[in-house]
Structure 1
């Protein structure tokens, strides 16, 4: 009789972590690109290999057992360790193909992402890169739930032990108005806002309050393109960032950029990864995106908008 124990597999651990973080078999299947029945089979195989029930799964309930709670952190560490090992092999040109998922920002899509991707594929030909877009808080959620491996986002994450941060750029805020509106007229013109659930919107509102400005509530938008279009349509004004202005196609046709009517402030962009999950790869990738930003955005920005002076600053 064969008394061999059921095998423990990396794939089963990966499915388990995805199921826990997604909160259901169906959502885990969608994230992993497999069927729900395959997820259930992998979970059953893992429980058999460990000899312990990890999840309580019913039509109304999906929760970790005590054994599942004990196994979750080691399983996450296993995934990160294997990913880091693959990254080391890639960087030593000893790896079979590897896939890296990156969450980006809207303002980088039209100007920076293509040259950055070309640099990365030249440097790491064994890696397939997949891009998705979202606001910074959405990208952070995607990173925390392993929907992506890296994210480009506003650096608002405190020093937490599960995130490695690689500063990229200091991005100054600027005033934009409809072409027929001067900077001196903004007090009498409608103000167009970023949505209040966006970090950029909250940062702008805080600076306006500190400066004693409280524009009337009105239109709020989640994209740069829509913000600029409505600013032009209303003959109004808005506060955005230099990167958003330079990174939005035809922004210069919709709005005119000016120095801020309030004390200067800025935001910091960073490349972020789960701590240790990709070894030295994120640091190398950060070098390349700084180079792409310098070539495509920062270089010549002061000649296009003289009031910027040295407002952009590459960070390391």
Structure 2
């Protein structure tokens, strides 16, 4: 090998894929925790090693060249293959520290996130774990752009062949009202989730199917705000069992009740890029099911007895 030949590095390939999926060197740098100049240097080194221009980038445009388009899929496959190999080494206790980035949902933060992550560190003592909480569609975008390695999402996220899905929990919808609520639902204000959220769209679609549309009013993107406004307006809302059980102060703000319409539910799943992490997603999904069984199902039985077995762990088949 020519000692003066530019090196072909794994880090440079990571930077290339991140820049393409973020459609911006600056956004890729933020996602990778690097400076834009460092990402640009990595891209330049990769292009020098391959002997061709991969990206046309300027202040006004960011686009792949023909060579870049040809190199993109092999680059993604390389990242996934190396990721799966590192997991195999970790499972055999033969690896350097494993780094995992997980996107979760706010419903788990107060009940399950801490014991779940502690269980992961017991299983993988060398692991470096980071977790962010966001809406399901935001988590899906983060997985697509490789900003995270795994996400928790609901099954309203579109099914695509590059995602492997591990079902976790069936989460039934319930009615919540202000404390001491005695009015008819059609005479009291309904508090909604934002229509931009999958949970908001699912609830609205079910209301239409049930022939029970409600007048427009306040809409929120968080469970805490939804419950607080429901209490303030002496109104009602539709949420899920997991959202109620996982929201601090929910019991102080609202009262859970059975739905006054046909029952429906959503499904929580763990998503990862197909094949990129070997057996790890299945192992982590199993740990999460165990934490939910220990921390959430007993609370559901005590506080939401009317839902019976509607909230249930979904075992991988």
Shorter-chain TM-score: what band? over 0.9
Please tell me whether residue 18 in structure 1 is matched to residue 18 in structure 2.
Answer: yes
Q: CA deviation at 1:158?
A: 4.3
CA deviation after TM superposition for structure 1 residue 153, in Å? 0.8
Kindly state the Cα deviation for residue 112 of structure 1 after the two structures are TM-superposed: 0.4
Gaps of 5+ in 1: none
Q: Partner of 1:311 in structure 2? A: 310
- Structure-1 separation of matches of 2:53 and 2:121: 43
Q: Secondary structure of 1:168's match?
A: strand
Q: Does 1:142 align with 2:132?
A: no
1:303 deviation in Å? 3.0
1:3/1:106 CA distance change after superposition, 3 Å: closer
Per the TM alignment, residue 304 of structure 1 is displaced from its structure 2 partner at its CA by: 2.0
What is the CA deviation profile of residues 84-113 of structure 1, one whole-angstrom value per residue up to 9, with x for unaligned ones?
111111111111112100001011001000
> Counterpart of 1:291?
290
Query: 1:93 & 1:3 partners in 2: Cα distance?
Result: 35
What's the secondary structure of 1:192's corresponding residue?
Answer: strand
Mapped to 2, the partners of 1:64 and 1:237 lie a distance apart of 50
The alpha-carbon deviation at position 62 of structure 1 amounts to 1.1
d(CA) in 1 for partners of 2:100, 2:120: 11
Alpha-carbon distance, 1:300 to partner: 4.5
Structure 1 stretches of at least 4 aligned residues deviating more than 6 Å after TM superposition: none
Alpha-carbon deviation of 1:261?
0.8
Deviation at 1:314, TM superposition (A): 0.7
> Matches of 2:148 and 2:282 in 1, distance apart?
17
TM-score (norm 2): 0.97
Name the stretch that deviates more: 169-178 or 50-59: 50-59
Counterparts in 2 of 1:53-202, with a 5 A limit?
Answer: 53-182=53-182, 185-202=184-201
TM-score (ref. length: structure 1): 0.97
Displacement, 1:161?
A: 1.6
- Unpaired segments ≥5 residues, structure 2: none
Distance 1:3 1:295 in 2: 58
Deviation at 1:14, TM superposition (A): 0.5
Q: Please give the alpha-carbon distance, in whole angstroms, between the structure 2 residues aligned to 1:283 and 1:157.
A: 19
In structure 1, what is the equivalent of residue 265 of structure 2? 266
Kindly indicate whether residue 241 of structure 2 is the aligned counterpart of residue 228 of structure 1: no
Counterparts of 1:207 and 1:160, CA distance in 2: 24
Provide the secondary structure at the position in 2 that maps to 1:206.
helix
- Could you tell me which residue of structure 2 aligns to residue 32 of structure 1? 32
Which residue of structure 1 aligns with residue 247 of structure 2?
A: 248
